């Protein structure tokens, strides 16, 4: 009962559902509530909802998960990919999308690692003296000397 009230508050955009509420919905197989959380929740709620759909989801939740793999937060998109792989492992579209997405994420992580492992470059910055500054300094020094 309490978790249904928290779902109503979530739909009214007053609060976010707690981790316990999402676990309760997973235990009771409330797929519609999990899908709604995956669409409209904050990043932690979306990640937990995707992980919950991985456990109890069926083929009707595939479109929601396909939209979730384009999420800006990598943990949410990875959780959605894992759920897609578990829900429909034989669907060729899902297989190709997950393969491309995982390779894309792997490339990003490899680039970040290579950036961290590179030795820092030492740049030699040469300050060239300008001739105009030299002549100005020379004139300035001559003006300091007494006139003969």
Domain containing residue 116: 2-144
Q: Please tell me the distance from the alpha carbon of residue 107 to that of residue 112, in angstroms, as a whole number.
A: 9
| pLDDT, mean of each 10-residue run, the chain (148 residues) | 82 86 90 91 92 89 88 88 85 79 81 81 63 75 77
pLDDT computed for residue 127 by the predictor: 60
Number of domains in the chain: 1
Whole-number pLDDT of residue 56: 92
pTM of the model: 0.66
Q: Which pLDDT belongs to residue 129?
A: 59
* Cβ-proximal residues to 55 (8 Å cutoff; 6+ apart), any chain: 26
């Amino acid at each position: 009962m309490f978790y249904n009230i928290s779902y109503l508050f979530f739909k009214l955009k007053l609060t976010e559902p707690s981790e316990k509420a999402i676990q309760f919905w997973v235990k009771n197989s409330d797929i519609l509530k999990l899908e709604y959380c995956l669409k409209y929740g904050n990043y932690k709620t979306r990640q937990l909802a995707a992980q919950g759909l991985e456990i109890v989801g069926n083929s009707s939740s595939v479109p929601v998960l396909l939209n979730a793999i384009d999420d800006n937060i990598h943990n949410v998109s990875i959780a959605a990919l894992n759920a897609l792989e578990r829900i429909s492992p034989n669907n060729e579209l899902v297989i190709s999308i997950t393969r491309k997405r995982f390779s894309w994420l792997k490339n990003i992580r490899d680039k970040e690692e290579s950036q961290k492992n590179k030795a820092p470059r030492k740049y030699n910055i040469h300050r060239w003296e300008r001739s105009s500054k030299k002549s100005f300094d020379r004139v300035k020094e001559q003006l300091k000397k007494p006139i003969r």
